Amino acid sequence: VILGGAGRPVAGTLQFDGNADWSYGIVQCRPYVEKIETPSAWTEFSKRRQHILTGEEDREKRKSLLKELQDFRNDNPEIAAFEEHALRNGEIEQQSRGCLVAPDGSFRLDDVFEGEWILEATLDAPKPESKRFGTGGRIGKIERRFSISKIEGGVSHEPLDLGTLMLAAPTP
């Protein structure tokens, strides 16, 4: 088993204008994916597909419905493009990274490969004594897009320093 050995570390320090218990902080990093608009025919396609998956038709009727669904997809090429985009997004999302935040607000994500990324850092308040589990709710958040340029040899131990990132109260 080989762990790591690709990409480079990404580091930074989080700050919050207020009392911050960083043991309730988390940093997540995911590849940036361009969003595309849902095709207008998608709703109809989804309804037909769901009917086939949950219906109780006999085998011949199901084959006929599947043929109709395939014909509908062929008549609406934006559906296939949308499905491919969604599949690619799912594969890319699996390449996400995450880490906890150190007591001083610093963080480090390892093995972030080249490309465009979205970093999201969140901070929750400690749970009130009246609660048995969970947290006291979200009190800080930041989202930042960044890039990792091509890495000679595919790996670097030199972190990309994102500097100090100020978390803001989330908008309701």
Please report the beta strands in the chain, taking only residues with DSSP state E, as ranges in sequence order: 8-16, 25-31, 97-100, 106-112, 115-124, 138-148, 160-167
Question: Contact 133/124 with Cβ under 8 angstroms?
Answer: no
> Within a 13 Å sphere around the CA of 30, how many CA atoms are in the beta-carbon half?
13
Computed over its alpha carbons, how large is the radius of gyration of the chain? 22
- Cα–Cα distance list, 39 to 74, 141, 153, 155, 161 (Å): 14, 32, 41, 39, 39
pTM over 0.85: no
Question: Contact 127/135 with Cβ under 8 angstroms?
Answer: yes
Return the bridge partners of 122, or none: 26, 141
Nearest-5° Cα angle at 94, 89 to 96: 100
The encoded tokens of residue 156 equal 């670097």
pLDDT in tens, the chain (172 residues): 555 567 899 999 999 998 899 999 999 999 887 777 777 777 777 787 777 777 777 778 878 878 888 888 888 888 877 777 777 666 666 678 899 999 999 999 999 988 899 999 999 998 888 888 888 889 999 999 999 999 888 899 999 999 999 999 987 7
If phi > 0 it is left, if psi is from -120 to 50 it is alpha, else beta; for residue 163 that is left
pLDDT given at position 34: 74
pLDDT given at position 94: 66
| Dist CA 48 CA 46 (whole Å) | 5
pLDDT given at position 92: 62
Q: Measured on CA atoms in the order 116, 143, 16, 19, is the torsion positive or negative?
A: negative
Q: Give the relative orientation of helices 77-93 and 42-54 as an angle to the nearest 10 degrees.
A: 80
